[in-house]
Amino acid sequence: MSLQQEIIAKLGVKPQIDPEAEVRRRVDFLKDYVRKSGTAGLLIAISGGIDSAVAAALCKKATDELTAEEGKAYMTLGVFQPYGEQADIEDSYSVAQAIGLKTTVETNIEEAVNEIALESEYALKAMGIHKHLSRGGKGNVKARTRMVVQYALAFELNLLVVGTDHASEAITGFFTKYGDGAVDITPLSTLNKRQVRQLGAVLGVPERVITKAPTAGLWEGQTDETELGITYDDNSDYLEGKDIGTEAREKLEKQYLRTEHKRVPIPGI
């Protein structure tokens, strides 16, 4: 078995999908887990990108169906989490409007992140290291702070925190460990980026959101493809078992092997 075949098998990606059937399967998956967990619904952070838009739409369908079937109210809470001013915050709100999501809140993480960064810099200074947190380091603080807020809300409202992780992120390890990678349930995990967009098209996600350049929103101007040097077309082709250029293949496989620690449970002895 080639490394490509091994990765595809491990991440569970299909070479092609029926988007409507995948929507049905994933909505049922969410419903079953909510029932088993005894929770009151789902919480999803809506960034304004395609991944969170699709996850939010699936959550909304799941809790709407549960409410109709169980005779009691289930909630999908959409959380907008800018750091200061977010240039594309309108996309977050337009997603919520497009899918009919009525319960939303905005929690600005700027002050909390800056306090954590400041305390970390004081700690470095005490060690004789006089520096600010690196751009990547502060980006990770942003991702983890967002999760702290999400879990604070989820605990008080008895909700499950839903993640947007999918196979195109998993193969590159392009997520913050215990940040956006720390959630209760991941309804997109066996899809690649192309397939997430296909689900978006049938779920009524705004076209602008489907086609925009993906970004983790960790610093101004950051995009996934620029940061990794790998296009999502190559990434998706690889996960569908297709041949891609040698340079792109080598980058993907090197990234996969280098980030294995992000995909495994906490090791013990």
> Which residues are designated catalytic?
51, 169
Answer whether 181's CB lies under 8 Å from 175's CB: yes
**Are 107 and 148 a contacting pair, CB within 8 Å?**
no
Angle at 87 between CA 82 and CA 90, to 5 degrees: 80
What's the half-sphere exposure (Cβ side, CA atoms, 13 Å) at 221?
A: 1
* Residue appearing with tokens 């992780």: 165
3-state secondary structure of 42: strand
Per-residue DSSP letter, 188: T
Are the beta carbons of 83 and 145 closer than 8 angstroms? no
C-alpha 248/C-alpha 191 separation (Å) is 20
Sheet with 41-45, edge to edge strand ranges: 104-106, 75-80, 41-45, 160-161
- What does R_g of the chain's alpha carbons equal in angstroms? 19
Integer Cα distance of 103 and 64 in angstroms: 12
